[in-house]
Structure 1
């Protein structure tokens, strides 16, 4: 029986210009991104980054995708997953969670969250 490894990036904060409404794309908003990956850990006796999922690379993927405004957070999450799968083919499962903090719909204090799960 093998070992399963989870590598996660939690609550990475970005300011970006995603949103369906034009004012969201002009004013921007703060977002938090969490990414969770799962893969089989076959290289127990190595400390080589090539045998793991580098969380610094996860951050860079999120940063790059967040810099390209989209109308829907579902699209943003899907682009993050696509790039993650391309860079880390050993990943068996990945989750992306995007939280828009204080979305502009008049609430006193609220967050909006989109999650996307991919399984190989």
Structure 2
């Protein structure tokens, strides 16, 4: 199995349940990993034999721009688009880390992960 991943893609976005979160915004880190089987001929050195991680990044970037109340919804949208774009993938995972969520005490991040397996 081949794994293609992006780790720690940084975005400033306005996701959050509370109205002030959707006004002030915060920083997010996004990880995406996909797995697939392929007979890659390395001599051909061709993007059509793999998952283009630039396309992965563009999907993440576009979905992070759509404000939502819960980051699980953002992750599901990212996952749905990845599955539609790369129909041959066997596994996928999306992790979103919300930096410094608004709690009474110090907290580095809140984290959600969605996984897919064909």
Q: Normalising by structure 1, what TM-score?
A: 0.93
Q: d(CA) in 2 for partners of 1:104 and 1:82? A: 28
Q: d(CA) in 2 for partners of 1:85 and 1:117? A: 11
Q: d(CA) in 2 for partners of 1:69 and 1:107? A: 25
Q: CA deviation at 1:109?
A: 3.5
Runs (4+) of structure 1 exceeding 4 A deviation are: none
Unaligned 5+ runs, structure 2 = none
Aligned pairs, number: 117
Cα RMSD of the aligned pairs, angstroms, is 0.9
Partner-residue secondary structure (3-state), 1:91: coil
Range 60-69 or range 45-54, more displaced: 45-54
The equivalences for 1:10-89 within 5 A come to 10-45=7-42, 46-89=44-87
Q: CA deviation at 1:106?
A: 2.4
